[in-house]
Amino acid sequence: MTKRQFMEELRSSLEGMVSQAVIQENMNYYEDYINEQIRNGKNEQDVLNELGSPRLIARSIIDAKGADDDYVQTEYYEEEQDEGTPEDMFGGNTHIFTMNSTKFKLGCLLSVIIFIFIIYLLFHVFSAMMVVLGPVIIIGVIVALIMKITGR
């Protein structure tokens, strides 16, 4: 892989997942880092090998910036890959889901509200049953004791 290929793959992995400002910030950082390492006498291929997969770097950036970046949206896409790449452990297709969209957050909030409401209802139904059944149980226990004492 060349530096140009690395940078293109990093950009394509970030596009649509974080804001353009975050993409540009990271593109500048990795461009400067690679150039600095080459100026310090390292081979371009060695520098790229040390950095690792641009897709994994992009995933880290998305995970780190996604919570702070309002631009992030829930997205789904498929991308064909060579079966021999180490990034794709599951063979062939990559599915990326982010959990930072407004719809996802509202769905979670709605689920929590519904759960609390169900618990509230169950508590009140149980309480109402005890109001009605409490005296019945007490009378039943008294009758059972009287029958036990009298021998009937």
Rounded to an integer, what is the distance from CA 37 to the centroid of its chain?
A: 35
| pTM for the whole structure | 0.46
CA dihedral 82, 87, 93, 97 (to 10 degrees): -160
Look at residue 76 in the predicted model and tell me its pLDDT: 42
Residue 111 contacts residue 105 (beta carbons within 8 Å): no
Q: Which pLDDT tens digits describe the chain residue by residue (152 residues)?
A: 899 999 999 999 988 888 898 899 999 999 999 999 999 999 999 999 999 999 999 888 888 876 454 444 444 444 444 445 544 555 545 555 556 677 778 888 999 999 999 999 999 888 888 888 888 889 999 999 999 999 87
Domain extents for the chain?
3-66, 99-151
pLDDT of residue 110: 93
